[in-house]
Amino acid sequence: MSAVMNHHEARVATEDLIYREARLLDEKKWQDWLALYTEDALFWMPSWAGEYETISDPELELNLIYLKDRSHLEDRVFRLETGESFASVPMARTVHVVGGVTVDAVDNAEIRARASWIVHSYGIHGGITRGGWYEYTLRRGGDTLRIARKKITMIDDKLVGPVDFFHV
């Protein structure tokens, strides 16, 4: 990966990474999925504060998920892998469909991008389809591109069944 990256190269690299993440989640390859994240990665899904807006201050307001480094994502994976989470046995099958990838900014250090997602899951609650947007900050380092920040806006509320990191 060259230090100078044009917009087109950035979009291709971003799409590669986002699609790869979607696939690893659907295949439940949790350790490979974790490796896509930087150690200090932020994983954030805000709650809704009204019909039109989510909360805006994740520190002092209510989030659905707000994990401020990768170790917390590792906790989530640990919990699933124990096989002792009532909500996670049996675990839903999922398919992530990600599209509309747009790169908002690219420099030598980072790419900022956005995408739309629909996840269809199937489990004990039957088929459930949820959707929303991703906002990514991807960190460039040598030949690697890793996720330093992922904000998930899920448009759904009145949620049926568990919503863990792999359902969105």
Partner 1 sequence: MLKKNRIASFVDDRDGQFRVDRSIYLDDELFNAEMEFLFEGGWVYLAHESQIREPGDYFSTRIGRQPVFVVRKRDGGIAGHINACAHRGATLVPFEQGRANAFVCRFHGWSFNHDGRCIKIKGEETGAYPDGDPKERYPLTPIARLESYRGFIFASLKAEVPPLKEWLGPAHTWIDLLADQAPQGLEVVRGASTYTVLGNWKLQAENGADGYHVSTVHGVFAKTVANRQEKNKIDGMGKTEAGRMTGNVNSGSYHFGNGHLGVWAQHTTPQVRPSWRQKDRLDKEFAPERVEWMLNRGRNLFLFPNVFIMDNPSSQIRTLNPIAPGICEVTVRCVAPVGEAPDARAARMRKFEDFYLTSGMATSDDLAALEAVHTGGGARAARWNDFSRGMTAIRHGSEDADGAGIGLVPDLMTSNWDHEALYHGFYRVWKERLLAGAAA
The least CB distance from residue 79 to partner 1, in Å, is: 5
Q: By CB under 8 A, is residue 92 in contact with partner 1?
A: no
Q: Is 39 in the site for partner 1 (CB under 8 A)?
A: no
The DSSP H or E segment spanning 102 is strand 93-106
- Residue among 26, 47, 131, 132 that touches partner 1 (CB under 8 A): 47
Amino acid at 11: R
As a whole number of angstroms, the distance between CA 63 and CA 160 comes to: 17
Three-state secondary-structure class, residue 5? coil
**Looking at 22-30, 85-93, 94-102, 114-122, which segment touches partner 1 (CB under 8 A)?**
85-93
Closer Cβ to partner 1, 140 or 167, answer by number = 167
- Taking the complex as a whole, how short is the minimal distance between the CB of residue 45 and partner 1, in angstroms? 7
Q: Does 116 bind partner 1 (CB under 8 A)?
A: no
Strand 63-67 with 110-123, pairing: unpaired
One residue of 1, 105, 109, 160 binding partner 1 per CB under 8 A: 160
> Contact, 89 vs 83, CB < 8 A?
yes
> Per CB under 8 A, does 75 bind partner 1?
yes
Question: Which of 114, 117, 110 lies closest to 132, judged by CA?
Answer: 117
Polymer length in residues for the chain: 168
45 in Cβ contact with 64 (< 8 Å): yes
Q: What is the residue whose two structure tokens read 């250090």? A: 109
Among 10, 21, 163, 166, binds partner 1 (CB under 8 A): 163
Match 């659905």 to its residue by tokens: 64
Q: Which of 39, 60, 108, 142 binds partner 1 (CB under 8 A)?
A: 60
Q: By the criterion CB under 8 A, which residues form the site for partner 1?
A: 45-51, 54-55, 57, 59-66, 71-72, 74-76, 78-79, 82, 84-88, 124-125, 157-164
